[in-house]
Structure 1
């Protein structure tokens, strides 16, 4: 007769499943409530003991680092699967509308608010991606060239996420878990003015730019 005790392979699979369950519960709670959520609350949501969390991750910080790695990897996967280049707003709205990925959006936004390594990696990734699709637009003649393409791509990334986070702070969703609704509300409020600025511009001449370049040491060449 076979032993009722699971073998090493079965035990390993169970162990990995418990680890993933804890990680997913942590991502959801951190995304909804921020990073002050207790280990006890995460354990309750995952249906495990706090001791098991410490066994797998060593500490709450270790759990946070594992969540950071997982969320950034998943968001990169979504970007790579996109058929067309997508802005941060478009990507986050698409992800927030999908039940399984919506917690990633909440976690990413909380991470940007909190700062730290994930926030930097997140912005660096989006800025590098923006630089690529903007360069494609410049080559195609649909986007004006810049004196500093890398700096422009990073500015657009930081400006876009900064506007998003400030707007969501001023207009918090009634349901903190409704990330899709929050993103749609932001686009409803900001879609027209942002699109107008990108397509029509703001100033009628470049005198402000010329004045700025006069006082910059070693300015980029036009």
Structure 2
């Protein structure tokens, strides 16, 4: 849960190492790619090659020389955004409490990274499907690590929970973006950060204490549906479920 929620609260620019790399130290190809990430985040993937070239301060011909087409440039941007996102998520798992406290004290998000992710999913089609698949592939490792560390409870079906949490987190941000997203990623992220502070308590409550006060619905589903599909042992993909001796959630 933590690895997903931190994407809402903090997307750390320094995690990509970009804050320690001077623009003049980047290759022309990398400068074009980084400028394209910002441009796609601000203007969407319909941005023209000329707009991308102007943003990067190069000629349209140089973009064609390095990437061949806008689609190939987009693919390289996808790869770089996923790399930076992976580092952010790794920090959230390896340093859960410091990461959360730092996020509350100084969210400092890389707005272009977050908005790029939202635009990539919203665009739909094969590229969006592949992008979301990569997000879940990366999240799978983080979730498994969280379970191994005792930070996250195991699930009867880790894959189903992975999809649910990914769709829930990305979907919630996408709704926010569609309702309030403008041309400036920084403005959108600043507004979302303000709203996120009001949602942090219920998010942690639901993630830590649960939502339903009784096990009635879960037990009924397990007995009448789950066991019929997977058997009493839950099938090969299961882990031991939370103990029924766990304390009941406390009242908010």
Q: TM-score range by the shorter chain?
A: 0.7 to 0.9
How far the C-alpha of 1:180 sits from its partner, in A, is: 4.1
CA RMSD, 1 decimal? 3.3
Worse-superposed segment, 125-134 or 167-176: 167-176
1:46 deviates by 1.2
For 1:212, the equivalent position in structure 2 comes to: 221
- Decide which of 174, 198, 204 is 1:165's aligned counterpart: 174
Equivalent residues in 2 for 1:46-125, closer than 5 Å: 46-81=56-91, 83-85=94-96, 97=108, 101-114=110-123, 115-125=128-138
Q: Relative to structure 2, which stretch is displaced further, 65-74 or 163-172? A: 163-172
Alpha-carbon separation, structure 2, partners of 1:50 and 1:177: 26
Residue 25 in structure 1 maps to residue 38 in structure 2:
no
Aligned to 1:177, what secondary structure does the other structure show? Answer: helix
Q: Deviations over 1:112-165 (max 9, x none)?
A: 222232222023212331232134226xxxx54432234324422332222222
Provide the TM-score with structure 2 as the length reference: 0.66
For residue 55 of structure 2, what is the aligned residue in structure 1?
45
| Matching residue within 135, 147, 152 for 1:134 | 147
Q: Is there any run of 5+ residues in structure 1 with no aligned partner, and where?
A: 1-13
Change (3 A) 1:207 1:81: closer
Structure 1 moving runs of 4+ over 6 Å: 89-96
Select which of 185, 189, 200 maps to 1:191: 200
Counterparts of 1:145 and 1:25, CA distance in 2: 41
Distance in 1 between residues matched to 2:202 and 2:179, nearest whole Å: 17
Counterpart in the other structure of 2:5:
none
- Alpha-carbon displacement from aligned partner over 1:71-108 (angstroms, at most 9, x marks no partner): 1122223344554148xx9999999715xx44222222
**Partners of 1:172 and 1:182 within 8 A in 2:** no
Distance in 1, Cα, partners of 2:115 & 2:71: 19
Query: Given that residues 85 and 133 in structure 1 are in contact (C-alpha distance below 8 angstroms), is that contact kept between their aligned partners in structure 2?
Result: no
Conserved? CA contact 2:39–2:47, under 8 Å: yes
What is the count of residue pairs matched by the alignment? 201
2:146 & 2:105 partners in 1: Cα distance? Answer: 18
Q: Which consecutive residues of structure 2, in runs of 5 or more, have no partner in the other structure? A: 1-23, 236-240, 242-252
